[in-house]
Amino acid sequence: MKKKKDGISRLLEFTGKYRNLLGLSRVLSGISAVFILMPFICVYFASKELINTFMGNALNTQKLLQWGLCAFASEFIGLAIYFVALLCSHIVAFHTEKNLKMAALTHLVKMPLGYFEKKPSGKLRKIIDENSAQTESYIAHQMPDLVGAQVTIIVAVILMVLFDWKLGIPLLVLVFLGFGIQMTFMGKDTLTFMKTYQDKLEDMNHEAVEYVRGISVVKVFGQSVHSFKKFREAIEAYKKYAFAYTMSCKKGMVGFNTVVNASFVILVPAALLVGATSEDLREFIENFLFYVIFTPATAVMLNKIMYMSDYKFRAQEAMERIDVILQNEPQMVKDYGWKPINHDVEFKNVSFAYEGAEEMAVSNVSFRAKEGTMTAIVGHSGSGKSTIASLIPRFYDVKDGSIEIGGIDVKDLSQEELINQVSFVFQNPKLFKESLFDNIKAGKTTATREEILEAAHLAQCDDIIAKLPDGIDTIVGQKGVYLSGGEVQRIAIARALLKDAPILVLDEATAYADPENEHQIGIALKNLMKGKTIIMIAHRLSTIKNAEQIIVMKQGKLVERGNHNDLVMKQGDYYKLWTEYNQSIQWNIGKEVAEC
């Protein structure tokens, strides 16, 4: 069970400077446990006084009162110390939770962007939030309580043997028997069950979110049965494991509770046996009374410890889940302070495969995109165009070869320098839930209002701004303010215009635009592209006809390179693509004519 220890000591690393406070909390909890046990002893002595009266003596109310006060006082002191103990442990717990979250978030910032494609941000947030919260309750409550319970057990065992070992020993045997049963039936599988159980719970939550998110697609395509199936499967899987987990605990729990709560079954015959041979019947009755008062309390404490191991598993699990995030290889960022000497982009024998994929998405690709020129990348879907584009700003890192900007490997550029060098316009850009103004400003945080309005103007956003209630200060996504795909694209272009990076990567930037928007996006892009090094992926080949260089990709390999005229003359792969493209236009026009 080495693993078990690792999880918790790993968790404790995150307590930071508050670690000693946790120790103090545990010591205090142990002390409070002794005080909280005191009333049992007081009740015992009080009962003794009462028994005394049965023996014909007068009731000593003074003493009775004393024991009562003593019980009250020790309970009060015990609780007060316990309160301080919990105060300390809560301080530690909140800081640990904060430290865990900070560690996970600062780690995520260092991950390559491509990582977030596999791990959606919503899922990551849930993992971090839920699991760090899970550790909070363990540190705040279970860790001090465990010491309290342990002290209780030790004191209880000592008292039980001390009062009358002939009654104490059989009871202790019983208690350990109960524990033995418990350990035999639980423990081994519980940890693995707990893990699968948590996995299934996470899956179920994820599928529920996906189901709700995809509800529009579900409705439009009448996919309810298929889509619900996945959600349902996740629920079924969860149910199966929740059930299996519960069942795995059943025997142990039942065995333990039966044995421990059956202590009276032993106590009574043992008492009869011991009582029959006892010389001092009065002393025996008094001792017997002690066990009657004390045994249920011991059983309660043992139960408490038993449930604590459950919490411990959970805290370990939570830590491991956060560790999965922390152990992901971060992207190495160097900062030599080097600056590119020009704005050329050069691929040198670049190969790359996505994680888990058998085939290379891009293999042995070399080309140079000269400063201030346009390089177009064409090829069928899946040929590796977007992969090439996403390697430039290091969304992923190349497996082999290198990419240089102005003579410097992108891996040797500081993050800031790289970001300043390259702008990226995607197929479907996203806007923050902020004003359009702030969305554009994200391109250059130091920009003035004039600069932002100018960028919006150049990106053909004037008509969008004019129709919104608060103009450029309207918040997107609020009060029913939604923009069409083409409109969002123009805002994204404004952002890139403001940023004014010398290298521009465009990945099918006009793919989702409707005819109206397409014209405006075209103008906006023209303004954006002025004087830049451009790497452009376009499905409309007419837009890249004038590119200085066209690169043709086929199954991850660069198969042809040249300008439009050369490549058409060559009658190779580009020529085929060009012919296909023209045919599709003819077909579209033909269709429109037929519809008229």
Residue numbers at the binding site for ligand ADP (CB under 6 A): 117, 354, 357, 361, 379, 381-387
Q: CA–CA separation, 337 vs 64, rounded Å? A: 82
Cα gap 545→563, rounded to integer Å: 8
Q: How far is the CB of 385 from ligand ADP (least distance, A)?
A: 3
Residue 445 binds which entry of ligand ADP, Mg ion, none, CB below 5-8 Å type-dependent: none
Residue 573, both tokens: 């792969």
Long-range pairs, 294-297, Cβ under 8 A, ≥24: 294/40, 294/44, 294/156, 294/159, 294/160, 295/171, 295/263, 295/264, 295/267, 296/263, 297/37, 297/40, 297/156
383 binds, among Mg ion, ligand ADP, none (CB under 5 to 8 A by kind): ligand ADP
For 69, the 3-state DSSP assignment is: helix
Neighbour count for residue 356 (Cβ, 10 Å): 6
List the single partner that 357 binds among Mg ion, ligand ADP, none, CB under 5 to 8 Å by kind: ligand ADP
The amino acid at 158: I
Shortest Å distance, C-beta 566 to Mg ion: 25
Residues 257, 258, 259, 263, CA torsion sign = positive
Q: Which is nearer to Mg ion, 342 or 428 (CB)?
A: 428
Residue 173 CA to residue 198 CA, distance in Å, equals 36
Element (H, E) at 325: helix 281-326
Q: Which is nearer to ligand ADP, 186 or 551 (CB)?
A: 551
Smaller CB distance to ligand ADP: residue 306 or 551? Answer: 551
d(CA 463, CA 556): 41
- Residue located via tokens 């865990």: 100
Q: Which does 532 bind (CB under 5 to 8 A by kind): ligand ADP, Mg ion, none?
A: none
Closer CB to ligand ADP, residue 381 or residue 446? 381
207 CB-contact burial (10 Å; exposed 0-12 / middle 13-18 / buried 19+) = buried
Tell the smallest beta-carbon distance from residue 385 to Mg ion (Å).
5
Q: Which does 446 bind (CB under 5 to 8 A by kind): ligand ADP, Mg ion, none?
A: none
* Shortest distance (Å) from residue 388 CB to Mg ion: 9
Closest distance of CB 514 from Mg ion, Å: 20
What does the DSSP assignment read for 416-453?
A: HHHHHHEEEE-SS----SSBHHHHHHTT-TT--HHHHH
User: Quick one: 52 or 364, whose CB is closer to ligand ADP?
Assistant: 364
Q: Least distance from C-beta 526 to ligand ADP, angstroms?
A: 23
Residue 408 contacts residue 340 (beta carbons within 8 Å): yes
**Least separation, in Å, of the C-beta of 553 and Mg ion?**
10
469, interface contact from ligand ADP, Mg ion, none, CB < 5-8 Å by kind: none
Cβ-based nearer residue to ligand ADP, 357 or 594: 357
Looking at beta carbons only, is 361 or 440 nearer to Mg ion? 361
Q: Which helix (H) or strand (E) holds 375?
A: strand 374-379
CB nearer to ligand ADP: pick between 354 and 426: 354
Residue 384 site contact among Mg ion, ligand ADP, none (CB < 5 to 8 Å, cut-off depends on kind): ligand ADP
CA–CA distance, 301 with 153 (Å, rounded to integer)? 7
Backbone phi and psi for residue 423, each to the nearest 5 degrees, phi listed first = -110, 150
Q: What's the start-to-end Cα distance of the chain, in Å?
A: 77
Residue 544 and residue 536: Cα distance in Å, rounded? 8
DSSP 412: G
387 binds, among ligand ADP, Mg ion, none (CB under 5 to 8 A by kind): ligand ADP
Quickly count: other Cβ atoms within 10 Å of residue 482's Cβ: 10
Q: 534: which strand partners? A: 374, 504
- Closest distance between ligand ADP and the C-beta of residue 117, in Å? 5
Of 97 and 507, CB closest to ligand ADP: 507
- Closest by Cα among 527, 528, 525 to 510: 525
Q: 551 by DSSP, 3-state: which?
A: strand
> Least separation, in Å, of the C-beta of 386 and Mg ion?
3
Would you say 382 or 477 has its CB closer to ligand ADP?
A: 382
Rounded least distance, CB 386 to ligand ADP, Å = 3
* CA–CA gap between residue 116 and residue 111 (Å, rounded): 8
Smallest distance, Mg ion to C-beta of residue 554, A? 14
DSSP state of 331: P
CB of 131 or CB of 386, closer to Mg ion: 386
- Using CB under 5 A as the criterion, which residues of the chain lie in contact with Mg ion when the complex forms? 386
CB of 380 to ligand ADP, least distance (A): 7
Distance of alpha carbon 564 from alpha carbon 402, whole angstroms? 27
d(CA 504, CA 532) in angstroms, rounded, equals: 7
* Strand 557-562 with 549-554, pairing: antiparallel
Starting at the earlier edge strand, list the strands of the sheet with 408-409: 362-369, 345-352, 400-405, 408-409
Please identify, using beta-carbon distances, which residue of 195 and 539 lies nearer to ligand ADP.
539
Residue 116, contacted partner among ligand ADP, Mg ion, none, CB below 5-8 A by kind: none
Burial class (CB in 10 A: 0-12, 13-18, 19+), 445: exposed
Closest distance of CB 358 from ligand ADP, Å: 10
Strand bridging mode 549-554 / 374-379: parallel
Toward ligand ADP, which CB reaches closer, 271 or 553? Answer: 553
Picked from Mg ion, ligand ADP, none, the partner binding residue 26 (CB below 5 to 8 A depending on kind) is none
